[in-house]
Amino acid sequence: MDVYEAIYKRRDIRHFRSDAVPSEVLHRILDAAHHAGSVGFMQPWNFLVIRDPITKSKVHQIYAAANEEAEKQYTGEKRQQYRAMKLAGIMEADVNLVVTCDVSRELGGGLGRQTMPETAVYSTCCAIENLWLAARSEGIGVGWVSILHPDKVKQVLGIPEHLTLVAYLCIGYPVSFEKKPMLETLGWQDRVPLEDLVYYERWHNKELDVK
Amino acid sequence: MDVYEAIYKRRDIRHFRSDAVPSEVLHRILDAAHHAGSVGFMQPWNFLVIRDPITKSKVHQIYAAANEEAEKQYTGEKRQQYRAMKLAGIMEADVNLVVTCDVSRELGGGLGRQTMPETAVYSTCCAIENLWLAARSEGIGVGWVSILHPDKVKQVLGIPEHLTLVAYLCIGYPVSFEKKPMLETLGWQDRVPLEDLVYYERWHNKELDVK
């Protein structure tokens, strides 16, 4: 699939079919992640593949509690709208994947990380986007679940304290790839026009040619 | 270009030709960035396009000072190796692009950000990877410069204090797209085998079937 097509057709998936993700497909999308650039080539990521329904169920409980808590920040119609949305597919997705970042990893000898150490985590996010796009091209859906307390999830999975849990992803064949993001379709939030977000030469300057 | 091809052929570029990036190409890669997913569809990013050589030169000075400082962490042969590497193409790249994240942006009503507010910045990194891959498919190189004090760069560009400068990117037609990452070719750091980075069901477990 063309890279632009994958970018425009990528969705955040919460509705999964039950078919298994073949191991060679899973390997290809993990390898795509592993081929993201990383600061100083430190490759700070790990991938933890979860298929055990008991483990999924423990994480789902963490999600359900956090979601109940999150709902309370909304009132009236907005709360109804929030409650009606499906925001995770932990139990249904064939694979749950945790992506971590080890900021203490010594690969790359610290190159590029003196002034911006946060780039280790940023590199890990680039790896996640690679995986997301590669998955899309394989017809596989990915849903990023952030309504979780990462420390609780780390505890369930035995992930050492010093690691950053960057993402908890649900991966599997989706019921469908919708034309638009769910939050746009449901009227939760529209897409901002790109031109509102671009400046030239200096912050807040909208003129293309300042010289 | 196929998404896997873009992923495997993407490089971190530091050597640029002087040809200008056509504005329609720049628009396409920015639009690719803007179509990354974002937590709660908050679209927390802005893009600041810099072509003014005076501005580039100010940023280059910030880079040069930080790089001189960074070099001091290495000794002997490693320092020689560090000094010999070109780690930025600020002046040569036709476009310099700052990508910021506004964690205070209210779009999306905070959905998904109660337990993991850091996902706003993570979304911005996903946008950067979209841009990087779209650029690769256009024959355009991108180099991410992290050897910079972000606060100093923000000051030069008039970027408000509360915004996170996520990335300073050099964008332009590259002298070449090499087969391997520069740091691998130069013997600075090898790629780790993917299998060393993947666990199953629980941290540190390398067995595919634990059940």
**Is it the case that residue A34 has pLDDT exceeding 60?**
yes
Facing A40 at nearest CB: one of B66, B150, B189: B189
Residue B59 to chain A, least CA–CA distance (Å): 12
Cβ-based neighbours of A204, under 8 Å, separated by 6 or more: B158
Specify which residues B124 forms β-bridges with: none
Asked if A183 and B37 come within 8 Å (Cβ–Cβ), the reply is no
Contact A139, B104 (CB under 8 A): no
Phi, psi torsion values for A9, nearest 5 degrees: -100, -5
- In this predicted structure, what is the pLDDT of residue B3? 98
Q: What is the pLDDT of residues A145-174, one digit of tens each?
A: 999 999 999 999 999 999 999 999 999 999
- In this predicted structure, what is the pLDDT of residue B208? 75
Percentage, residues of chain A above pLDDT 70: 99
Asked if A2 and B3 come within 8 Å (Cβ–Cβ), the reply is yes
**Is it the case that residue A17 has pLDDT exceeding 90?**
yes
Give the C-alpha separation, A52 to A183, whole Å. Answer: 30
- In this predicted structure, what is the pLDDT of residue A208? 75
Residue A67 to chain B, least CA–CA distance (Å): 9
Substitution target from A125, A155, A166, A204 for chain B, most B beta carbons within 10 A: A125
The structure tokens 């005076």 sit at B54
- In this predicted structure, what is the pLDDT of residue B209? 62
- Burial category of A73 from C-beta neighbours within 10 Å (exposed 0-12, middle 13-18, buried 19 and up): middle
Asked if B48 and A113 come within 8 Å (Cβ–Cβ), the reply is no
Asked if A48 and B132 come within 8 Å (Cβ–Cβ), the reply is no
Facing A7 at nearest CB: one of B40, B121, B134: B134
Give the up-direction half-sphere exposure of residue A179: CA atoms within 13 A in the CB hemisphere. Answer: 1
Phi, psi torsion values for B114, nearest 5 degrees: -75, -45
Average pLDDT (A9-26) is: 97
- In this predicted structure, what is the pLDDT of residue A86? 87
Asked if B128 and A126 come within 8 Å (Cβ–Cβ), the reply is yes
- In this predicted structure, what is the pLDDT of residue A140? 98
- Residues on chain A touching B82 (C-beta within 8 angstroms): 111
Question: What angle do helix axes B76-84 and B53-71 make, rounded to 10 degrees?
Answer: 170
Asked if B50 and A201 come within 8 Å (Cβ–Cβ), the reply is yes
- In this predicted structure, what is the pLDDT of residue B211? 47
Chain B residue closest to A48 (CA)?
Answer: B199
Residue A203 to chain B, least CA–CA distance (Å): 5
Core vs surface per residue B115-124: b (16+ CB within 10 A) or e: bbebbbbbbb
Which secondary structure element, helix H or strand E, spans residue B99, and what is its range?
strand B95-101
- Other beta carbons less than 10 A from residue A64's beta carbon: 14
Specify which residues A119 forms β-bridges with: none
Asked if A183 and B35 come within 8 Å (Cβ–Cβ), the reply is no
Q: What is the pLDDT along chain B (211 residues), one digit of tens a residue?
A: 999 999 999 999 999 999 999 999 999 999 999 999 999 999 999 999 999 999 999 999 999 999 999 999 999 999 999 998 889 899 999 999 999 999 999 999 999 999 999 999 999 999 999 999 999 999 999 999 999 999 999 999 999 999 999 999 999 999 999 999 999 999 999 999 999 999 999 999 998 764 4
**Does the pTM exceed 0.95?**
yes
- In this predicted structure, what is the pLDDT of residue A209? 62
- Residues on chain B touching A137 (C-beta within 8 angstroms): 2-4
Residue B72 to chain A, least CA–CA distance (Å): 11
DSSP B75: -
Asked if A211 and B52 come within 8 Å (Cβ–Cβ), the reply is yes
Give the C-alpha separation, B3 to A32, whole Å. Answer: 9
| ipTM for the whole complex | 0.96
DSSP B193: P
* Helices (runs of H) and strands (runs of E) counted in chain B: 7, 5
- In this predicted structure, what is the pLDDT of residue B207? 82
Residue A121 to chain B, least CA–CA distance (Å): 8
Confidence of residue A207 (pLDDT cuts 50, 70, 90): confident
Facing A115 at nearest CB: one of B7, B148, B188: B148
In three-state secondary structure terms, B47 is strand
DSSP string, B128-181: HHHHHHHHHHTT-EEEEE--S-HHHHHHHHT--TTSEEEEEEEEE-BS---SS-
Asked if B40 and A183 come within 8 Å (Cβ–Cβ), the reply is yes
Cβ-based neighbours of B92, under 8 Å, separated by 6 or more: B15, B16, B18, B170, B172
Asked if B119 and A144 come within 8 Å (Cβ–Cβ), the reply is yes
- Residues on chain A touching B2 (C-beta within 8 angstroms): 1-3, 137
Asked if A2 and B137 come within 8 Å (Cβ–Cβ), the reply is yes
Q: Which residue has the higher pLDDT, A108 or A96?
A: A96
Average pLDDT (A115-141) is: 97
The token duo for B29 is: 């890669």
- Residues on chain A touching B112 (C-beta within 8 angstroms): 70, 87, 146-147
**Is it the case that residue A211 has pLDDT exceeding 50?**
no
Give the 3-state DSSP-derived string for chain A, with helices as H, strands as E and coil as C.
Answer: CEHHHHHHHCCECCCECCCCCCHHHHHHHHHHHHCCCCHHHCCCEEEEEECCHHHHHHHHHHHHHHHHHHHCCCCHHHHHHHHHCCCCCCCCCCEEEEEEECCCCCHHHHCCCCCCCCHHHHHHHHHHHHHHHHHHHCCCEEEECCCCCHHHHHHHHCCCCCCEEEEEEEEECECCCCCCCHHHHCCCCCCCCHHHHEEECCCCCCCCCCC
